Structure 1
Amino acid sequence: MVKLLDHGTLPVSGRHQVYWEMAGNPDGLAALVLHGGPGSGCREGHYDLFDLDRYRVVLMDQRGAGRSRPAAATDVAALQDNTTDDLINDIEVLRAHLEVDKWLVFGGSWGSTLGLLYAQTHRGHVRALVLAGVATTTRRDLAWLYDDVGNLFPEAHDAFCAFVPEAEDVWTRIAAYGDALTDPARAQAAADAWCTWELAIFETDFESVGGNWTDPAFRVGFARLCTHYFRNFCFRGDDAVARGMDRIADVPGVMIHSRFDPSCPLRAPWELAKRWPAARLDVLGGNDHSALSKAMTTRIRAATDGFAHA
C-alpha cells in the first residue's frame, strides 16, 4: 500500500469534481499520470511507473471516471460538460492548486492523446512526456479499433456488431452503443457487449483480467465515456494531435509501444516520431497495451528513471 502525501476532490466546474492523490517525495520532481479509456480511472499500480524517492507523483481521475463525481457509472449527467478541452483545463486547475510549475506527464492509451494535447496547449508547464500504448485517436485509429481489427477476430466482432444490428458502419455503431448506454433498460447489456469486445482483441475476458473489469458498474462508466468521446471524435476533429506537434518539437519524450498492439497500431507513434525530433520511440515485441503489464511497466520505469537522472 502506497502512503499518500495528500489527496482531495477539486471542484472544476459547477457540475464536476475531480479526485486526485499524490505520493512519493514531497521535494521530488513533479509528475502527472493521465489514465486511459477514457474512463479507466487511476490505480495504485501507476505509482510503480516511478521511483518514489525521486518523484512526487500525482494521479487524477478524469471527469466521470474513478472517484471523480458525478460518476459516469451511475449518472449520465457525468457526460455533460465533459470534453477534451474540459479535461485539459482540469489539469491546469490541478497544477495551479498543487503549485506545480512544470511536471513530467505520463499518459497511457487515451491518456497519451490527452497528454499530447495538454502539452501542445500548455507547453511551458511540461518538463517531459512519457507515453505508452500510444493513441492519437484519429478517425483511422477508431475505425481500426472498432471495425478493421475485426478481420483478425471475426467471431468477437460479429457479436460486437450484433448488439446494435441497426448500425450501418463503425460510426453509427459507436453512436448506437452510446444511445443504448444512456438507456437504463439497456445500459448494462450494452456495456458488457462493448467491454467484451475491448478485451476480446487481447484474447481475454473479464474474469481473466480481473480488477475493475469484473465490476459491472465500472464497465458501464467505461463504455459510456468511451462512446461519448469517440462518437464526437474527442471534440477536437481528426488529426488534432498531428497538427500541433510543431508546438512540442523540443519537448523531451519517450514513446513505448508494442509492435503487435491490437488496439493501437504502431503506425500512430511511428508517424509522431517523424514530427517529434526530441522524442524516442521504444518498440516492444508482443501485444502488451496496458501500462501496468510487466513488460510495459519495466520500460516506462526505465524512461522515468532516465528523466529523474537527467
Structure 2
Amino acid sequence: MTKLYPVHNFSELYPITLEKMSYSDVLPYDSGMLDVGDGHHIYWETCGNPNGKPVLVVHGGPGSGATPYWRQFFNPNLYHIILFDQRGCGRSYPNAGDTGSALIANTTEHLISDMEKIRTKMKVDKWMLFAGSWGTTLSLAYAVTYPNRVTELILWGVGTTQKQEIDWLTWEMRHIFPKEFDDLLYPIKDIMGDRNIPLAYNELLISSDPAICMPASWAWCTWEDRIVSLGNHVSPSERYFDDRFRLCFARLVTHYFGNYAFLDNNYIVGNIQNIKDIPLIMVKGRLDISSQLSITWAMHKQHPLSDLYLIDNSGHGGSEYMHRVLIGATEYFVTQ
C-alpha cells in the first residue's frame, strides 16, 4: 500500500490495490418481485455475470433501498450481483411511505428470512455479503445465523445497532450538536416519557395524519443530515425532499433503531466466533461520528480473519479513498 493514500490497515491479511475508483454502471439483466409472506413482496434484481461470483448487496438506512449506486463496486464480468429492497422500502411493498402497516412483520429476523428466500430463488449455495451502514448490522446478523452460507464479508460504516450505539447517535450527540439536539427533542417533548428517542419519534411517524407524521419526518431527517455531515456545513440529502421517501425512511429507521434491531443486545458481538472462518474486510471513516469506531475495533480484535481499514478523511457517507478500498476488496476476493 502506498503512503500517498490516507488509509491505515490494521492487519493486511488481504493485499488489495487502491487503483480503481469505480466500475461503470451496469443495468440489471433480470428483476422481479418475491412474495416472502406476511403480506410483504420484495423487489430483487440481478446484474453482471450470471455465472460469476455471487454477491448480495445489503443496503443501509434502514429504508434507503438498493439504488444504482451500489452496482459500481463490482466487476460486472466477474460478479453475479444481486440486489434487493428490504421490507417496506424502495420498490418492495407495502411501502412505509404509504402506510404504517409496512412495519408489521418487519424485523431483522424477517429480513434474514427474506435473504434466505432470495438465495434459494437465485439457486446460490453461498455468497459474499457487501453492505454499508445499517446493512452491516443485517449482514452480520445473517452471517452469525447462517455462517455456512457466507463466503466473505465486506462491510463499511460498520455498526451493530446495540443500545449503546443508538444512545450514542442520539443522546450523546447532544455534546457535539447541542442546538440541533434541542431541535430534535422539541417535537417529542410531551410524549417522550422513559422511551428512547427513535421510539418516541416512531409514535408520531406512524400517525396517518400528515400534520403529525410529516413534520416529524422532517425533524428526524434533519438530524440524520446533521450527524452524517462533516464540520459546520450540513449537506442535505436530496432524497429527503421526496415526501414519500422521507416518511418511509424515517418510519423504518426509528422502527429498527427504537427496538435496537429487534436483536438481543449482544447477538452479533457475542457470536463473532460463529463467523471466525469467514474472511472479513471492514472499512470505517475516522470522521464517522454517527457510528462508534470502538464497536468495529472490538469485532476486529475478536475476528482472526479480519482486516480493518481506517480512512482518515472520510465520514459516514464515504470518500474517494473509501471507494478505492471497497473496490480493491471486491477485486481481491473475486480472484481468490
TM-score range (shorter-chain normalised) is over 0.9
The question of 1:280 aligning with 2:304 is answered no
Q: Give the corresponding residue for 1:297.
A: 323
Query: Residues of 2 paired with 1:14 and 1:114: CA distance?
Result: 19
Whether the 8 Å CA contact 1:8–1:19 is kept in 2: the answer is yes
Amino acid in the other structure paired with 1:151: H
Q: Aligned equivalents of 1:168 and 1:70: distance in 2? A: 28
Instruction: Name the aligned partner's letter for residue 175 of structure 2.
Output: N
The answer to whether 1:115 aligns with 2:151 is no
Residue aligned with 2:29, SS: strand
The number of equivalent residue pairs is 306
Tell me, in whole angstroms, the C-alpha distance in 2 between the residues paired with 1:258 and 1:142.
18
Give yes or no for contact 1:143–1:170 (8 Å, CA) kept in 2.
no
- The question of whether the paired residues in 1 share the 8 Å contact of 2:52 and 2:80 is answered with yes
2:294 to 267, 274, 277: 267
Q: Distance in 2 between matches of 1:218 and 1:269?
A: 29
Per the alignment, in what secondary structure is the counterpart of residue 19 of structure 1? strand
Paired residue secondary structure (1:244): helix
Q: How does 1:69-88 map to 2 (within 5 A)?
A: 69-88=93-112
> 1:130-209 to 2 correspondence within 5 Å?
130-166=154-190, 171-185=195-209, 186-201=212-227, 202=229, 203-206=233-236, 209=237
Correspondence for 1:48: 72
From 223, 226, 234, the counterpart of 2:261:
234
Is 1:224 paired with 2:261? no
CA apart distance, 1:137: 0.7
Residue 214 of structure 1 and its aligned partner are, at CA, apart by 2.4
Within 2, Cα distance between the matches of 1:204 and 1:22? 35
One-letter code aligned to 1:204: V
Q: Alpha-carbon deviation of 1:45?
A: 1.0
> Take 1:170 and 1:4, find their aligned partners in 2: how far apart are those partners?
47
For normalisation by structure 2, the TM-score amounts to: 0.88
Aligned counterparts of 2:27 and 2:260: Cα–Cα separation in 1 = 38
* Structure 1 match to 2:17: none
The residue type paired with residue 127 of structure 2 is W
Q: Name the TM-score, length of structure 1 as normaliser.
A: 0.95
Q: Distance in 1 between matches of 2:146 and 2:214?
A: 38
Structure 2's unaligned 5+ residue stretches are 1-24
Give the letter for the 1:192 counterpart: W
Report the Cα distance in structure 2 between the residues aligned to 1:178 and 1:275, rounded to whole angstroms: 35
Q: Structure 1: which 5+ runs fail to align?
A: none
Give the CA RMSD over aligned residues. Answer: 1.5
Contact 1:273 1:280 (C-alpha < 8 Å) held by counterparts: yes
In structure 1, distance between residues paired with 2:240 and 2:332: 32
Matched residue SS, 2:125: coil
The answer to which of 60-69 and 197-206 deviates more is: 197-206
SS of aligned partner of 1:240: coil
What do residues 98-119 of structure 1 show as CA deviations (whole Å, max 9, x unaligned)?
0011111011111001101101
Give the one of 44, 54, 60 matched to 1:36.
60
Residues 122-174 of structure 1, C-alpha deviation per residue, up to 9 Å, x if partnerless? 11110100000001111110000111022111121111111111255784322
Q: Does 1:128 align with 2:135?
A: no
3-state SS, counterpart of residue 219 of structure 1: helix
Distance 1:286 1:184 in 2: 42
Distance 2:198 2:294 in 1: 23
Once residues 114 and 63 of structure 1 are traced to their aligned partners in structure 2, the CA distance between those partners, rounded to angstroms, is 12
1:175 offset after TM fit, Å?
1.8
Partner deviation per Cα, 1:74-111 (whole Å, 9 max, x = no partner): 11110000111000000000000000111110111110
Query: Where does residue 15 of structure 2 map in the other structure?
Result: none
Counterpart-to-counterpart distance in 2, 1:70 and 1:166:
31
Q: Secondary structure, in 3 states, of the residue corresponding to 2:188?
A: coil
What amino acid is aligned across from residue 293 of structure 2 in structure 1? L
How far is the alpha carbon of 1:229 from its aligned partner? 1.1
Contact map agreement 1:48 1:297 (CA 8 A) in 2:
no
2:321 aligns to what SS in structure 1?
Answer: helix
- Three-state SS of the structure 1 residue aligned to 2:80 is strand
* Distance in 2 between residues matched to 1:8 and 1:36, nearest whole Å: 21
Highest CA radius of gyration, 1 or 2?
2
State the identity as a percent. Answer: 37
Shift of 1:286: 2.4
- After TM superposition, the runs of 4+ consecutive aligned structure 1 residues lying more than 6 A away are none
- The residue aligned with 2:284 is 257
Rounded Cα–Cα distance in structure 2 between residues aligned with 1:169 and 1:35: 32
